Amino acid sequence: MDMINILRTIRLQDQPAVLATIIGVEGHAYRKAGAAMLLLLNGDAVGTVSPGCIESDLGERALSVWEAKRYEVAEYNMEPGDDPIWGESVGCGGVIRVLLEPVEGRLRRILMDILELLEEGRNIWFVRGLKGEELSYELATEEIAPPSSDPFYDWQFSLRVTNRQRVILFGAGPDAVPIYQLLTQSSFHVVVADWRPRLLAAFPYAEHYIGTPGQLRERLQPSSEDAVIVCSHRLHYDREMIEWALASQSKYIGVMGSVKRIGMLFNGEVPPANVKAPIGLSIGAEGPYEIAVSIAAELIALRYQWRNKHKADRQKEELHEPIRNLFGGGTEQPNGQAEAAARAFAGRYARQHGASRSLG
């Protein structure tokens, strides 16, 4: 979920940086294969690949990777007793393999292509291929499975890059600030909307819209894929917002307020299944920050459910459909092949350097 923030940082900060991506995990690990972080040579970083166990070592490697203009694969054995450096002192368990790549040239250009496609609403596969010691890159449109291993390559790793779930936060009062902060940090795309410009000033970096619900509907163009949070605390505007969110069949409509107020909003009727009122998990939350935690936790859990359902539906519908590549050709690949390839790659090239290139 860090990838969009990483891509935007690369676009905004044109400075030396190294991309670190987990390409293989054996046993237990804090992050799975595909997790990434950006290591800026000024010492800053975006994203995480561990609870902090290996970041300092990756930071030390980043300078040499950048200066050599060559990728490197680092392997960290977290099994207690197996590695005196990483095992006993960390105790996380598992083996993690991390690919470090200098963000320049072809890699930087293709990462910007990925960001552009994401901003167009497309989900894609980012495919790295290795032949000998040369690493190349391709993009493919999203499908049920990543592109198949091309016999031209010795190794291939496919990373699915998806858009963030959009959350429309209607109401920019003080209780909306921690909701925005937590959801943004949890990789949601939060849009803040309110008819009061002075309240929107508390969200200087947010995508925001000024207007009443009637004015916002056309500007926001809500869809069934959106989640909507209603917390303006103005009864008639909240009711209007709920009505058009229901008409748009938004998958989640969370309403903040007391049981009495919610009864007034729904005229004493039971809310539809896609409405959570009152909003958030029932954890005994009190105050704006605890309530924000309950809301963020609920949306994270629902996002996980939605993705699994979407994946299952796509598997049923498109099991035999081929991949449509944006750059180059490719066909389907069985699930799990990328992980096996990562292990093979790591076995041959762990702690080795190689050149990066693009085919064609």
Of 45, 1, 42, give the one whose Cα is nearest residue 20: 45
Instruction: Quick: pLDDT tens for 154-174.
Output: 888 988 888 888 999 999 999
Instruction: Quick: pLDDT tens for 228-237.
Output: 999 999 999 9
- What is the Cα 241 distance to its own chain's centre? 28
Please give the model's pTM, rounded to 2 decimal places. Answer: 0.63
Instruction: Quick: pLDDT tens for 269-319.
Output: 999 999 999 999 999 999 999 999 999 999 999 988 887 776 666 556 555
User: Is 151:129 a contact under the CB 8 Å cutoff?
Assistant: no
pLDDT > 70 fraction of the chain, expressed in percent and rounded: 77
Residue 18: its pLDDT value, please? 97
Between 95 and 72, residue with greater pLDDT: 72
CA separation for the pair 214, 170 (Å, rounded): 12
Q: CB 169: neighbour CB atoms within 10 A?
A: 26
Asked if residue 321 has pLDDT above 70, the reply is no
Structural domain count of the chain = 2
Confidence of residue 358 (pLDDT cuts 50, 70, 90): very low
Query: Which residues, 6 or more positions from 294, have their beta carbon under 8 angstroms from its beta carbon?
Result: 279, 280, 281, 282, 283, 285
Asked if residue 238 has pLDDT above 90, the reply is yes
Give yes or no: residues 58 and 89 share one domain: yes
| Domain-embedded: residue 288 | yes
Give yes or no: residues 94 and 196 share one domain: no
Confidence of residue 153 (pLDDT cuts 50, 70, 90): confident
Q: CB 336: neighbour CB atoms within 10 A?
A: 9
Residue 149: its pLDDT value, please? 63
Between 337 and 329, residue with greater pLDDT: 337
Structural domain boundaries enclosing 89: 3-148+323-356
Give yes or no: residues 8 and 104 share one domain: yes
Asked if residue 357 has pLDDT above 50, the reply is no
Confidence of residue 143 (pLDDT cuts 50, 70, 90): low
Instruction: Quick: pLDDT tens for 4-21.
Output: 888 988 998 889 999 999
Asked if residue 24 has pLDDT above 50, the reply is yes
| Domain-embedded: residue 317 | no
Give yes or no: residues 221 and 260 share one domain: yes
CATH number for 212: 3.40.50.720
Give yes or no: residues 199 and 229 share one domain: yes
| Domain-embedded: residue 109 | yes
Asked, as a colleague might, if the bond just before 16 is cis with ω within 30 of 0, I would say no
Of 241, 235, 264, give the one whose Cα is nearest residue 253: 241
Confidence of residue 221 (pLDDT cuts 50, 70, 90): confident
Give yes or no: residues 185 and 125 share one domain: no
Q: CB 89: neighbour CB atoms within 10 A?
A: 11
